Homo-oligomer: A and B are copies of this chain.
């Protein structure tokens, strides 16, 4: 068993306004992937969609999940203000209705 990361883990769930629209989903994904690729402080990344479940405890209502890891909080702060990240928000925020972020540091 390996460890995912020993740094700062930034997890984001996006709920798109039109989760049934392939156009919206493709536009969001393309924008996200494009801009994430331009931020060199990102150490590792994961972009996902929900694995549906019958279990009550599982929230599978989101449209996209993103897990980014950084060396430390300072690198995540650089990412937050990075022109590519701001451009992604400018370009795609009209597509989503809700965003929830969970930031963690390893125990």
A45 interface residue per 8 A CB criterion: yes
Instruction: Specify how many copies of this chain sit in the oligomer.
Output: 2
A50 to B102, CA, bound (A): 7
A58 partner residues in chain B, CB cutoff 8 A? 101-103
Count of A residues near B, CB < 8 Å? 45
A31 to B102, CA, bound (A): 23
Kindly list chain B residues whose C-beta atoms are within 8 Å of the C-beta of A105: 48-51
A43, A44, A47, A104: residue with the most chain B Cβ atoms closer than 10 Å: A104
The verdict on A62 contacting chain B, using a C-beta distance below 8 Å, is yes
| One of B4, B60, B107 near A44 (C-beta < 8 A) | B4
CB closest residue in chain B, given A25: B107
